[in-house]
Amino acid sequence: MSFSRKLYVIFPAAGSGTRMKSDKNKLLMEVNGVTVIDRTIEAFKQYSDESGIDLSCVLVVSPGKTDEWDSYVKDKDYASMISSIVEGGDTRTKSVGNGVSALKAFNPANDDAVFIHDAARCLIDKDSISRCFEAINEDETNVCVSGVKTKNTIKMVKEDISQGVMVESTPNRNLLYEVQTPQCFKYSILEECYRRAKEDGYEATDDTALAEHYGYKVRIVEGSYSNIKITTPEDIAIAEALLRNMQ
C-alpha cells in the first residue's frame, strides 16, 4: 500500500454551544487546565510529530471571529499547522462546507486524506486518528468514520398524540454503532458531496451521511468510548475523569 504522507483536517469550531449554557465559548473552557480547542488540536499535532505525517488544518470559526482566533492560535505550539481560519455558517453542514471550500487553495490531490474533526471532541487519541488514516488510505475506502458499538439497547419509537412515545421495534444492538469524528474522506469525494449538498440544500448532522446520500459506501473504523463530545456542563467533569484514566 502506498501511503500518502499528507493529512488535511477541518476543525468545525463555529457552533454557539447552546447546550453548555455558559457565557464562555465552550471550546475555551478548560479540561484539567488546558482549553478544549488546544487539547483537540494538540492531539493531532502529537500524531503528526510521532508519525511524520504532514498536517494542514483549517479552523472554521463563528462569523466575525476570525481575527480573534488568529490572535489566539498565533502563539501556540501548533500555530504552524493551522493553514487557514475561515468563517462558518449557522449549521454544522454549512460550517464544514466553508472549510471544504477553503481547502481548494491548497490544491489537494484527489486521493489525499481529509478528516473532519469536531473541535469539541478534545479526548481524541492518536491511535484512533491512526486507524482512520490507515483506512482512508486504502484504495477501496473512500469514506470512513470513527465509531463504537452502542452499549445501550436502542428502541425505535413512534410519537403518538394520545398514547405518548410508543416502541415500534428493538434493533439488534450488535448492528448499531455510535459514530464520532474523525469523519474521513478522500478529497475528491468530500469536495463532490459538499458541492452537491450546497446545490441541493441538503443538511445532515454528520458528514458521512452526505456520502451515503450521494451513493458512497461508508466504512466504520474502531473509535474509542473516551472520544466524547463536550456538549453539556457535566461533560467537562466526565472528560477530566476520563483523562485521569488515560494518562
How far is it, in rounded angstroms, from Cα 204 to Cα 188?
19
Judge residue 201's burial from the number of C-beta atoms within 10 Å of its C-beta, 0-12 exposed, 13-18 middle, 19 or more buried: exposed
Q: For residue 115, what are the β-bridge partners? A: 9, 184
Judged by CB under 6 A, the residue of 85, 100, 120, 221 near ligand CTP is 120
Tell me if 185 sits within 8 A of 143, measured CB to CB: yes
How far is it, in rounded angstroms, from Cα 133 to Cα 177?
20
Tell me which of ligand CTP, Mg ion, none is bound by residue 120, counting a contact when its beta carbon lies within the kind-specific cut-off of 5 to 8 angstroms.
ligand CTP
Binding segment for ligand CTP among 12-20, 46-54, 135-143, 191-199 (CB under 6 A)?
A: 12-20
What is the grid cell recorded at 24?
A: 464562555
Site for Mg ion in 5-24 (CB under 5 A): 15
Site for ligand CTP in 62-101 (CB under 6 A): 88-92, 95
24 binds ligand CTP (CB under 6 A): no
Q: How far is the CB of 21 from ligand CTP (least distance, A)?
A: 9
117 to each of 11, 41, 151, how far by Cα in Å? 5, 10, 23
Tell me which of Mg ion, ligand CTP, none is bound by residue 229, counting a contact when its beta carbon lies within the kind-specific cut-off of 5 to 8 angstroms.
ligand CTP
Tell me if 184 sits within 8 A of 128, measured CB to CB: no
Judged by CB under 6 A, the residue of 12, 147, 182, 223 near ligand CTP is 12
Tell me which of ligand CTP, Mg ion, none is bound by residue 236, counting a contact when its beta carbon lies within the kind-specific cut-off of 5 to 8 angstroms.
none
Over its C-alpha atoms, the chain yields an Rg (Å, rounded) of: 18
193 binds ligand CTP (CB under 6 A): no
How far is it, in rounded angstroms, from Cα 222 to Cα 48?
20
215 to each of 14, 22, 25, 113, 133, how far by Cα in Å? 28, 40, 36, 19, 22
Binding segment for ligand CTP among 42-50, 74-82, 115-123, 144-152 (CB under 6 A)?
A: 115-123
Cβ proximity to ligand CTP: between 15 and 182 the closer is: 15
Judged by CB under 6 A, the residue of 14, 31, 43, 242 near ligand CTP is 14
13 binds ligand CTP (CB under 6 A): yes
17 binds ligand CTP (CB under 6 A): yes
Tell me if 10 sits within 8 A of 112, measured CB to CB: no
Judged by CB under 6 A, the residue of 118, 191, 206, 235 near ligand CTP is 118
Site residue total, ligand CTP (CB under 6 A) = 20
